[in-house]
Structure 1
């Protein structure tokens, strides 16, 4: 009797080992591709943002998680009414609503917001929201004027000045967490 396995058994084991190695490499490639895609998507297209503070209380709350579209402003400029995330101070990002564009004038009188001398309707605000008066300001080229939806408690363009468009990270598109606050923001 021979102690060797039949030739067909020896090749079967070798094929199984080769097949298992191929499966492992396939999984490694799939995971690596998923990681690369996730990094690309987060770096250039969408990024989660955690809302902090009372300035957008009419629309979002502290702890809400939103998806920020980082690609949109590489294709076009911000529009009035859009909620944006931007670099405000070193290591701190703010979330506010675009109110006025470059070259426009903005002011508030008697609790009414005015752009270029005309009263602006703001359907995204509660009817009881108040906007304290502030003097006429002209938005410089390459900037936008932003306000928080909670006008009585917001550090926005009334305090920090117009925001350079180049400092805008992207448009907040969706509140996705907690689920009770789930909604589109445009």
Structure 2
């Protein structure tokens, strides 16, 4: 009986760490297409060039309407939220922006996130750096 309980506990812990996400939209073409399913690993701060799932902000006000459900709150339900798939372009402390722009450094606990298909992507080009707490996790593999 204790073996079954151990499996149940391990299964519950794994469900909190792994989330299956369906790709919608074209912002990560050609690597990820609408309808692709990916497995997302929660709990680790992403590194440069990794692909992450991040919570969609209010695009008009450029902020969020609720508390974080990403890395900043790993136990929160995530199905009621809208998510974006993006690539980490820069991490805290890295410079961002061109020499012609008033760029700066990525603030602590933030990431610069870009879609691979810039012409249709809502990302740090419009939003600026995203808080790490809004990141659900890192794409681990395609299903």
TM-score by length of 1: 0.57
Q: Distance in 1 between matches of 2:27 and 2:142?
A: 16
Correspondent of 2:47 among 72, 76, 79: 79
Q: Does residue 169 of the first structure (1) align with residue 136 of the second (2)?
A: yes
State the match for 2:103 in structure 1.
137
Q: Distance in 1 between matches of 2:23 and 2:102?
A: 29
Bigger relative contact order, structure 1 or 2 (CA pairs below 8 A, ≥6 apart): 2
Runs of 4+ in 1 over 6 A off after TM superposition: none
Higher helix share: 1
TM-score by length of 2: 0.72
Higher mean C-alpha displacement, 77-86 vs 58-67: 77-86
Q: Distance in 2 between matches of 1:107 and 1:58?
A: 24
Q: Deviations over 1:72-127 (max 9, x none)?
A: x1xxx32110001112235211110000111222235xxxxxxxx7xxxxxxxxxx
What is the aligned residue count? Answer: 119
Q: Distance in 1 between matches of 2:85 and 2:30?
A: 13
Q: Distance in 2 between matches of 1:39 and 1:63?
A: 26
1:36: Cα distance to partner? 4.4
Please identify the structure whose Cα radius of gyration is greater. 1
Task: Decide whether the 8 Å contact of 1:105 with 1:136 is kept in 2.
Answer: no
Q: 1:48 to 1:148 in 2, by over 3 A?
A: same
Q: Distance in 2 between matches of 1:64 and 1:104?
A: 31
Q: 1:92 to 1:137 in 2, by over 3 A?
A: farther
State the match for 2:20 in structure 1.
48
Task: Decide whether the 8 Å contact of 1:106 with 1:136 is kept in 2.
Answer: no
The gaps in structure 1 that reach 5 residues or longer are 1-25, 109-116, 118-133, 177-186
Q: 1:175 to 1:136 in 2, by over 3 A?
A: farther
The gaps in structure 2 that reach 5 residues or longer are 58-64, 66-80
Q: Distance in 1 between matches of 2:103 and 2:47?
A: 18
State the match for 1:153 in structure 2.
120
Correspondent of 2:11 among 25, 38, 43: 38
